[in-house]
Amino acid sequence: MATRKKKADETGTEAEETAAAKKKAKRPAAKKAAVKKKTASKKSKGAGSLATVEVSADEEEEATPRGKGPHYLVVVESPAKAKTIKKYLGTGYTVKASVGHVKDLPKSKIGVDVEHDFQPEYQVIKGKEKVLNELKKAAKSVDKVFLATDPDREGEAIAWHIFEELGHKDSYRVLFNEITKKAIQEAISQPRQLNQESYDSQQTRRILDRLVGYQISPLLWKKIRRGLSAGRVQSVAVRLICEREDEIKAFQPQEYWTLDALLEGASGPPPFKAKLSKIDGKKVELKDRQTTDGLVAELQGADFTVAKVDRRERRRNAPAPFITSKLQQEAANRLHFTAKKTMTLAQRLYEGIPMGEEGQTALITYMRTDSTRLSDDAVKQVREYIGGHYGGDYLPEEPVAYRSKKSAQDAHEAIRPVSLEYPPERVRPFFDQMGEEDMFRLYELIWNRFVACQMKPAVYDQTSADIAAGRATFRASGSTLKFPGYLKVYGAGLTPEEEAANEKAKAAGDEGAESAEATGELPPLNEGDALRLQKLLNEQHFTQPPPRFSEATLVKELEEQGIGRPSTYAAILSTIQDKKYVEKLEGRFRPTDLGVMTNEMLVKHFPKEMAVAFTADLEEKLDQISEGGASWKAVLHDFYGPFKETLEKAEAEMRDVKREEIKTDIPCEKCGNPLVIKFGKMGHFLACSNYPDCKNTKDFKRDAEGKIVIVEEETTDEKCENCGKPMVIKRGRFGRFLACSGYPDCKTSKPISIGVNCPDCKQGYLTERRSGRGKIFFGCNRYPDCKFAAWDRPLAESCPQCQSPYLLQKFSKRDGVYVACPNKECDYRREVQQPAEASAPSAA
Q: Tens of pLDDT along 792-809?
A: 999 988 999 898 989 999
Distance CA 562, CA 616 (A): 5
Hey, what amino acid is at 7? K
* Listed residue (205, 215, 207) closest to 654, CA to CA: 215
* Listed residue (212, 215, 244) closest to 595, CA to CA: 244
Of 163 and 403, more confident: 163
Distance CA 830, CA 725 (A): 42
State pLDDT tens for residues 524-558: 899 999 999 999 999 999 999 999 999 999 999 99
Backbone dihedral region for residue 205 (phi beyond 0: left; psi -120 to 50: alpha; all else: beta)? alpha
Whether 141 and 96 have beta carbons less than 8 Å apart is answered as: no
Average of per-residue pLDDT across 316-344: 93
Of 714 and 763, more confident: 763
Banded model confidence at residue 264, pLDDT cuts 50, 70, 90: very high
* Listed residue (223, 204, 453) closest to 327, CA to CA: 453
CA angle 750, 756, 762 (to 5 degrees): 85
Regarding whether 442 and 386 lie in a shared domain, the answer is yes
Q: Is residue 618 part of a domain?
A: yes
Distance CA 808, CA 793 (A): 6
Backbone dihedral region for residue 624 (phi beyond 0: left; psi -120 to 50: alpha; all else: beta)? alpha
| pLDDT given at position 572 | 92
| pLDDT given at position 7 | 38
Checking if the pLDDT of 518 tops 60, the result is no
- Domain end, chosen from 409, 433, 456, is at 456
Checking if the pLDDT of 11 tops 90, the result is no
Burial of 87 (0-12, 13-18, 19+ CB in 10 A): middle
Of 827 and 292, more confident: 292
Whether 321 and 401 have beta carbons less than 8 Å apart is answered as: no
Number of domains observed in the structure of the chain: 4
Whichever domain contains 296, its CATH number is 2.70.20.10
Of 428 and 26, more confident: 428
Checking if the pLDDT of 516 tops 70, the result is no
Q: Is residue 474 part of a domain?
A: yes
- On the question of a cis peptide bond just before residue 692, with omega within 30 degrees of 0, the verdict is yes
Regarding whether 333 and 391 lie in a shared domain, the answer is yes
Regarding whether 516 and 411 lie in a shared domain, the answer is no
Checking if the pLDDT of 346 tops 80, the result is yes
Distance CA 726, CA 522 (A): 65
Whichever domain contains 106, its CATH number is 3.40.50.140
Regarding whether 438 and 338 lie in a shared domain, the answer is yes
Burial of 712 (0-12, 13-18, 19+ CB in 10 A): exposed
Whether 63 and 91 have beta carbons less than 8 Å apart is answered as: yes
Alpha helices in 742-811 (DSSP H): none
- Domain end, chosen from 657, 680, 712, is at 657
Regarding whether 536 and 472 lie in a shared domain, the answer is yes
| pLDDT given at position 62 | 34
Burial of 83 (0-12, 13-18, 19+ CB in 10 A): buried
Checking if the pLDDT of 78 tops 90, the result is no
Average pLDDT in the chain: 84
| pLDDT given at position 301 | 87
Regarding whether 452 and 343 lie in a shared domain, the answer is yes
| pLDDT given at position 225 | 84
Q: What is the 3-state secondary structure (H, E, C) of 652-684?
A: HHCCCHHHCCEEEEEECCCCCCEEEEEEECCEE
Q: Is residue 389 part of a domain?
A: yes
State pLDDT tens for residues 714-743: 778 788 988 988 888 887 666 678 888 888
Residue 506: phi and psi, rounded to 5, are -65, -45
Q: Is residue 349 part of a domain?
A: yes
User: What sign does the dihedral 361-364-365-368 (CA atoms) show?
Assistant: negative
* Listed residue (336, 341, 418) closest to 375, CA to CA: 418
Burial of 825 (0-12, 13-18, 19+ CB in 10 A): exposed
Distance CA 809, CA 374 (A): 43
| pLDDT given at position 68 | 62
Checking if the pLDDT of 629 tops 60, the result is yes
Distance CA 239, CA 276 (A): 40
Checking if the pLDDT of 57 tops 80, the result is no
Cα atoms in the Cβ-side hemisphere of radius 13 Å centred on 635: 25
Regarding whether 78 and 187 lie in a shared domain, the answer is yes
CA angle 99, 149, 433 (to 5 degrees): 60
* Listed residue (248, 208, 137) closest to 596, CA to CA: 248
Residue 465: phi and psi, rounded to 5, are -130, 130
Regarding whether 395 and 362 lie in a shared domain, the answer is yes
Q: Is residue 812 part of a domain?
A: no
Count of residues in the chain = 844
Regarding whether 156 and 135 lie in a shared domain, the answer is yes
Burial of 221 (0-12, 13-18, 19+ CB in 10 A): middle
Checking if the pLDDT of 512 tops 70, the result is no
Largest distance between two CA atoms of the chain: 107
72 CB-near residues (< 8 Å, 6+ apart): 92, 93, 94, 142, 143, 144, 145, 146
* Listed residue (552, 583, 558, 489) closest to 333, CA to CA: 552
Regarding whether 236 and 165 lie in a shared domain, the answer is no
Average of per-residue pLDDT across 240-263: 95
Instruction: Calculate the alpha carbon distances from 128 to 4, 155, 723 in Å.
Output: 18, 17, 55
Q: What is the 3-state secondary structure (H, E, C) of 46-77?
A: HHHCCCCCCCCCCHHHHCCCCCCCCCEEEEEC
Q: What is the 3-state secondary structure (H, E, C) of 348-378?
A: HHHHCEECHHHCEECCECCCCCCCCCCCHHH
Banded model confidence at residue 503, pLDDT cuts 50, 70, 90: low
User: What sign does the dihedral 693-694-700-703 (CA atoms) show?
Assistant: negative
Burial of 297 (0-12, 13-18, 19+ CB in 10 A): exposed
Alpha helices in 508-631 (DSSP H): 511-517, 551-561, 566-578, 593-605, 612-626
Checking if the pLDDT of 767 tops 50, the result is yes
Distance CA 399, CA 375 (A): 11
Checking if the pLDDT of 625 tops 80, the result is yes
State pLDDT tens for residues 824-843: 888 898 887 544 333 333 33
CA dihedral 190, 194, 199, 200 (to 10 degrees): -120
Distance CA 766, CA 764 (A): 7
| pLDDT given at position 10 | 36
| pLDDT given at position 498 | 63
Whichever domain contains 564, its CATH number is 1.10.460.10
Banded model confidence at residue 502, pLDDT cuts 50, 70, 90: low
Checking if the pLDDT of 23 tops 80, the result is no
**357-363 — which CB contacts under 8 Å span 24+ positions?**
359/84, 359/87, 360/80, 360/83, 360/84, 360/87, 361/84, 361/422, 362/81, 362/84, 362/178, 362/179, 362/180, 362/418, 363/417, 363/418, 363/422, 363/427, 363/443
Distance CA 737, CA 743 (A): 14
Backbone dihedral region for residue 92 (phi beyond 0: left; psi -120 to 50: alpha; all else: beta)? alpha
Regarding whether 335 and 450 lie in a shared domain, the answer is yes
Range of the domain at 365: 324-456
Distance CA 286, CA 291 (A): 7
Checking if the pLDDT of 598 tops 90, the result is yes
User: What sign does the dihedral 752-755-760-761 (CA atoms) show?
Assistant: positive
State pLDDT tens for residues 34-48: 333 333 333 333 333
* Listed residue (212, 254, 181, 224) closest to 580, CA to CA: 224
State pLDDT tens for residues 186-206: 999 999 999 999 999 999 999
Whether 275 and 474 have beta carbons less than 8 Å apart is answered as: yes
Q: Is residue 663 part of a domain?
A: no
Distance CA 626, CA 201 (A): 5
Whether 785 and 779 have beta carbons less than 8 Å apart is answered as: no
Distance CA 388, CA 382 (A): 10
- Domain end, chosen from 519, 542, 565, is at 542
| pLDDT given at position 443 | 97
Checking if the pLDDT of 405 tops 50, the result is yes
| pLDDT given at position 326 | 93
| pLDDT given at position 840 | 35
| pLDDT given at position 210 | 93
Checking if the pLDDT of 95 tops 80, the result is yes
Q: Is residue 383 part of a domain?
A: yes
State pLDDT tens for residues 585-594: 888 999 998 9
* Listed residue (768, 748, 739) closest to 756, CA to CA: 768
Distance CA 210, CA 1 (A): 8
Average of per-residue pLDDT across 267-271: 82
Banded model confidence at residue 521, pLDDT cuts 50, 70, 90: confident
Distance CA 303, CA 528 (A): 11
Of 36 and 413, more confident: 413
| pLDDT given at position 693 | 85
Distance CA 378, CA 774 (A): 43
Q: Is residue 839 part of a domain?
A: no
* Listed residue (235, 217, 207, 239) closest to 640, CA to CA: 207
Distance CA 325, CA 252 (A): 33
Whichever domain contains 445, its CATH number is 1.10.290.10
Which residues are marked as active site? 366
Checking if the pLDDT of 418 tops 80, the result is yes
State pLDDT tens for residues 778-790: 999 888 899 999 9
Regarding whether 185 and 217 lie in a shared domain, the answer is no
* Listed residue (369, 374, 371) closest to 454, CA to CA: 374
User: What sign does the dihedral 537-540-546-551 (CA atoms) show?
Assistant: negative
- Looking at the DSSP bridge assignments, the partners of residue 120 are 112
Average of per-residue pLDDT across 358-365: 92
